[in-house]
Amino acid sequence: MATLTQEMKDMIATQQCFVGTVNADGTPNVAPKRSTRVLSDDTLIFTEGTGGETYTNIKRGSKVAVSVVNRDIIDGYRFIGTPNLQESGDLYDMAVAMSAKIGMPKPYAVVVIHIEEIHSLKPGPSAGKKIA
């Protein structure tokens, strides 16, 4: 497992994250996931509220890539990992409560991503390179 730094955690908390998966025919799928947040030093989480391609791909076994970029400081990261769908249990119940509180429909699932690799998205020679 790769470990998030405080800088990475802060960026995830303040910037839009995009989640990439692979469709059954091999084409990429990228979707904004506003609910993306840090669960622990090596785990991200987001609420799957639409039940669309991302959800379908994860159910089918797709790995995921989560990208976040801060355009103001020209820096960013890509986190690659294996997702785990939770459609019941404590994390799911918290997501249901959070969704209800902000007037959103009941989510399909909570997606827990165990980070296996971290890549830099900073421009220059480190762009795309694995850093953890």
The yes-or-no verdict on residue 71 having pLDDT over 90 is yes
pLDDT of 104 reads 87
57 falls within a domain = yes
Residue 63 has pLDDT above 90, yes or no: yes
Is residue 95 in a domain? no
Question: Mean pLDDT score of the chain, rounded to an integer?
Answer: 95
Residue 96 forms part of a structural domain: no
Residue 14: the pLDDT is 97
- For residue 30, give the CATH number of its domain: 2.30.110.10
* 20 vs 33: CA distance, rounded Å: 10
Q: What is the pLDDT of residues 94-117, one digit of tens each?
A: 999 988 998 888 999 999 999 999
pLDDT single digits (tens) 37-55: 999 999 999 999 999 999 9
Structural domain count of the chain: 1
Is residue 33 situated within a structural domain?
yes
pTM: 0.93
Residue 5: both structure tokens together: 């730094």
Residues 6+ away with beta carbon under 8 Å from 61: none
The per-residue pLDDT for 1 is: 82
The boundaries of the domain holding residue 67 are 6-44+52-84+111-120
More confident residue, 1 or 76: 76
pLDDT digits (tens, 9 = 90+) for 78-98: 999 999 999 999 999 999 998
The DSSP line for the chain is -----HHHHHHHHHS-EEEEEE-TTS-EEEEE-TT-EEEETTEEEEEE-S-SHHHHHHHHT--EEEEEEETTTTEEEEEEEEEEEESSSHHHHHHHHHHHHTTPPPPSEEEEEEEEEEEE--SSTTTT-B--
pLDDT of residue 126: 85
56 or 127, which is more confident?
56
